[in-house]
Amino acid sequence: MLKINEKELVAFALQGNIVPPLCFGWELTREGQSKIFPSVGGITYNVKTGDNVFAFESDHVEPGVSSIAGSFSDKRTANPNLSYNVYSCIGNEATLISGAAKGKKGVVTGHHGGVEHVIIDFEDSVLKKLTYDDKILIHGVGQGMKLLDYPEITVTSLAPSLLKKIPIKEKGKHLQIPVVAMVPAELMGSGLGHNDSFKGIMIFKPVNLPSSKNMD
């Protein structure tokens, strides 16, 4: 098992709220057609982590639940949303603390830079009970994690609990890490090498997490 500095990691309580879907109006396709596409934000019932990104009529749609901290009119790149966005790590537990589904738990599956959303997956039965008045508490831990035997590797936005579930193999001085797909660098746009990539999109294919059965 990989050795990490788990006892040194700070765990924050991070409180957020569900953000309604945003509409950006008309968009121009590659064929020169004007269309209106569902986009970021919202409680998304039928788009799940792991789904084919080409299977829906959408642009930047976010699977599951999109959340922010503070009011909708606050500047997304300032606190409290900045800390909510950055300190929430993939694999962190998220608990509903209000509403009809109070007490139900989900899991953080990613960040979306630009709109600075934290994306969370819940069971289908929970999604149906959610409203935009509901509050979420994330057990935020993971930033600052180090692989003690591999100091040259930088790890960001990953929960220790998720790292332990990934079947990583050590081969000499190298690590073999399973991947779902490889995306060419030229398709990453400003997400590659940008100085705020730590809060960009990091949706993953789940590894035995206690969440939606559709996340496989």
Q: Domain with 147 in it: what CATH number?
A: 2.40.10.170
Residue 215 falls within a domain, yes or no?
A: no
Confidence at residue 210, expressed as pLDDT on a 0 to 100 scale: 41
Average pLDDT of the residues of the chain:
88
Closest among 39, 84, 85 to 62, alpha carbons compared: 39
Q: Which is more confidently placed, 200 or 139? A: 139
Residue 82 falls within a domain, yes or no?
A: yes
- 122 SS3 class: coil
Structural domain count, the chain: 1
CA 127 and chain centroid, separation: 16
Residue 210 falls within a domain, yes or no?
A: no
Q: Which is more confidently placed, 135 or 185? A: 135
> Which residue range is the domain that position 70 belongs to?
6-199
Confidence at residue 186, expressed as pLDDT on a 0 to 100 scale: 73
**Counting every residue, how long is the chain?**
216
Residue 207 falls within a domain, yes or no?
A: no
pTM (two decimals): 0.87
